Chain A
């Protein structure tokens, strides 16, 4: 009986991995060979929508100045741009968006450093920057966003994390999609700005490339479920508020919003051209905390939305299938760890015959499916589309990332499970920033230049 259970589990694992392998193969095929769904960027709208930009910040003095410089229209920030030119160099100096249609709310969320002073200084200079200082209530991004939503005067909300470096045209690119009355949220593309810093940032760049250039775009093409990622994206304020705002007990407020909108019949779309630069974690310990938090939050969403998703009347069958696979993405590492333990047990129980026969499949599936959230062929094609000639050579090194992710994602799963079981409250831990306080290093600037030269970019 025990042997039967162990063998059955191994077969179950292989089936799960094969399903994900096929899914990602279809995505890759779609991205490369099929007509791409056109985003709204060709839409010329004389009635530019008024937007509110929310930037949650907790002890962000290292990066606070830069993101504001980049969002402030160039006509406004000439003085400041000159002051900081030596820091941000050729970076974009201001967003291409009429200032009278824009409101920026940096949300100082319990900062104990100079964030408050920096934000107040900006508020004195620019009337459309309206800092919100929070020192009461629950800390964390969802709670900060909820507070920001109460103060936002416009219907369209665009969110950036504080370490992001938005290029000039991104606000228009994101906001234009809301001309479609069915669109509830839009997600842009995240590109690491510090790719060349070390081995980890290079691997993370590959991960992001596969995730956005192929995965998100293919899901958008196929009318499946592109995911709102919580930053470099926007949503409708009233829709979120009418649904009870962000759930502060969930660490992945972005994934939660994605599913909440879909269940309410809204569309979530992806804008591949709305690229924004982020600072990827530069140390493994920071990465471990980040991936663990993502896993915990994502699995919280799984526990909350799996059944409503299956029961939804608004979603098509293929959206439901994609939604289920998306919800279980952060459960696959646990399935794999159990499969490895299962294989070991079978090995010592004298069943190496089945282990020898199937382990190959297990590891093919494991590597294909969870090399690092995307199989190697997906990342290879994504890197090819980006015109990357060198970094794709690091693909085999993702095996290390695979073990690393597997461990921390599994820990995150159990944390989410415990949250669900006990109803304990979550505590938001911010991802550490690495940029120096005086602005981007020459390395950052160099990367921005490189990314703007990518093949396929208009």
Chain B
């Protein structure tokens, strides 16, 4: 609903709507929007740029780490550009289907994130309540981040075409969720290490 409200303010009345679909044990709400395929020219330009990046980036000596990450992004985009250059009509998804898959994968994240965090936090020598608060905070962050990302994804797909669908899903989808999950965990364990520094009993097996 939030996504629809935000996106509706950018597009003419009736372009964006919300549909209801069953998923797991109840219905979910999905933003529906029209499909937009890229022009042949845009696909070819994307193909040239992404291929060029794949060739040039490995030769960069500095910032190798970032270069490799961009090679990963460029490879996905090259696949996508190749597909849209040679058989755009075969592309199997509408924007609405992408929207549906996004919501479903996000729900999977919301189900599994507390599980992963619980297992990781269970190992740390700390009381139950702060751990629970941390999981709730991570969930809240994920709701907000997931919603914001949903709006941005739909905006990009509607504005710039389905050509970027694969890149958005594979590079900025669930993978990014685990970055902040680990970030929240690392921040907490850092604080915990600070507070436990003087507690010798905790460290009896560390040697």
Contacts and interface: CB of A to CB of B under 8 A. Distances in A.
State yes or no: do A and B come from one complex. yes
Interface string A371-394: 100001100110111111110111
Contacts of A395: 182-183, 185-186
A458 B207 contact: yes
Contact of A399 (B109, B169, B179): B179
A122 interface: no
Interface in B152-207: 166, 169-170, 173-175, 178-180, 182-183, 185-187, 189-190, 192-194, 196-197, 203, 205-207
Interface stretch (A178-186, A229-237, A245-253, A353-361): A353-361
Interface of chain A: mostly helix, strand, loop or mixed: helix
A291 to B, nearest CB: 12
B64 A288 contact: yes
Range of interface residues on B (Cβ < 8 Å): 35 or more
Nearest to A213: B206
B105 A356 contact: yes
A343 B170 contact: yes
A36 B72 contact: no
A386 B66 CA distance: 29
B193 A403 contact: no
A404 B65 contact: yes
B108 interface: yes
B68 A455 contact: no
A396 B68 contact: no
Contacts, number: 156
Given A343-B170, A360-B174, A455-B203, A380 B69 contact: no
Contact of B120 (A376, A388, A398, A399): A376
Interface in A24-74: 25, 28-29, 31-32, 34-36
Contacts of B123: 28-29, 32, 377, 380-381
B145 interface: no
Given A364-B178, A396-B182, A404-B64, A36 B205 contact: yes
B207 A359 contact: no
A401 B65 CA distance: 7
A380 B203 contact: no
A349 interface: yes
For the side of the interface on A, what is the size category? 35 or more
B182 A376 contact: yes
A386 B116 CA distance: 23
User: Interface majority SS on B: helix, strand, loop or mixed?
Assistant: helix
Interface in A285-308: 285, 288
Interface in B68-83: 68-69, 71-72, 76, 79-80, 83
B186 A31 contact: no
Contacts of A367: 175, 178, 182
Given A348-B92, A352-B101, A272 B207 contact: yes
B119 interface: yes
A273 interface: yes
B48 interface: no
A407 interface: yes
A400 interface: yes
Contacts of B190: 389-390, 392-393
Interface of A: 25, 28-29, 31-32, 34-36, 199-200, 272-273, 284-285, 288, 340, 343-344, 347-350, 352-353, 355-357, 359-360, 363-364, 367-368, 371, 376-377, 380-381, 383-390, 392-396, 398-401, 403-404, 407, 455-458
Contacts of A398: 182
B64 A285 contact: yes
Contacts of A385: 203, 206
A456 B207 contact: yes
B108 A357 contact: yes
Nearest to A380: B189
A403 B182 CA distance: 16
Given A363-B178, A395-B182, A285 B61 contact: yes
A396 B179 contact: yes
Contacts of B112: 360, 364
Contacts of B186: 376, 380, 392-396
A387 B101 contact: no
13 contacts: A34-B205, A343-B170, A344-B79, A348-B91, A356-B108, A357-B105, A363-B178, A367-B175, A376-B185, A381-B189, A389-B190, A398-B182, A455-B203
